[in-house]
Amino acid sequence: LTDVEGMQRTGTYTQYLNEHSEAGFPQQSVDVDLFAYISGNGVEQYTNYEGADKALYTSGDSSVTWELNIPETGFYNIDLEYMAVKSKGVAIERSIAINGENPFSRAANIAFLRIWKDAGEPKVDNQGNEIRPTQIEEFDWQSEYFKDDMGYITEPYQFYFEKGKNTLTLEGVNEPMVIKSLSVRGVKKDKNYDEYIAEKTVTSVIQ
C-alpha cells in the first residue's frame, strides 16, 4: 500500500486497540451533515439524487473533511450509506483519517463493494452444463460499516475519538462514489455469558 499524502500511517489495528484499551463504548451517535464540510476537493453537492434529499459526490481522488462534536470519549463505529458511480467497475477505496492521521495502517485503504446481478437466466450448453450469465452492475444505495474487506476481522472497525471537537477526513484512493449519509455510531457490544445469565435471572424474578 502507498501512503496517502498528508496523512501519517501508524501500526496495526490490534496495536491501535491496545493503545486505547481503557476506552469505553459510548452509545450515542453523531450524524454528519454532508454539506457542512470544512474543506473539500473533488466533491459536488447533489439535491434530490436517486431519492436522497442531499447527497455528496466524491471523485476517485477527492478529499473532504468534516468537524464533529463527539459527545463522549471512547470507541465508535463509522457507517456509510453510498451508491457506486458508473466507472471502471472495480472496488471503491477510501482512506479515513481522524484529526489528520490514519489511526492504523489499514485505515489508509478501505474497500466498498459494488452490486452485481445476472444479466439474464442461466443457459445450458449441449452437454447439459449450466452456463453462468454475464454479470451487470446495479446502482442502488448500500449501507456499510468501515471494516476489513479482507475478512480477517469480522466486526466493523472501532475508531477512538476524544470528547469534543474532532475532524474526520475521507480521501479517495480509487473510484468515485456518492454518499447519502455518514454516521459515527456507538459500538454495539455483544453480551458475554455472565451478562446474559444475569439478565435472564432478573427477567425470571420479575416474571
Say what the pTM is: 0.80
Q: Could you tell me which of 69, 64, 59, 6 has the C-alpha nearest to residue 39?
A: 64
Reply yes or no on whether the pLDDT at 6 is more than 80: no
Q: Could you tell me which of 98, 108, 115 has the C-alpha nearest to residue 173?
A: 108
Average pLDDT over residues 25-46: 97
Reply yes or no on whether the pLDDT at 78 is more than 90: yes
pLDDT number for residue 184: 98
DSSP states along 69-105 = EESSSEEEEEEEEEEE-SSS-S-EEEEEEETTB-SSG
Mean pLDDT of the residues in the chain: 86
pLDDT number for residue 10: 60
The residue ranking higher by pLDDT, 170 or 87, is 170
pLDDT tens digits, 12-32 = 999 999 999 999 999 999 999
pLDDT number for residue 89: 81
pLDDT number for residue 44: 98
- Give CA–CA dist 176/109, Å, rounded: 14
CB-based burial label for 17 (10 Å; 0-12, 13-18, 19+): middle
Q: Percent of the chain beyond pLDDT 70?
A: 83
pLDDT tens digits, 85-122 = 998 888 999 999 999 999 999 999 999 998 877 676 77
Q: Are 131 and 125 in contact (CB under 8 A)?
A: yes
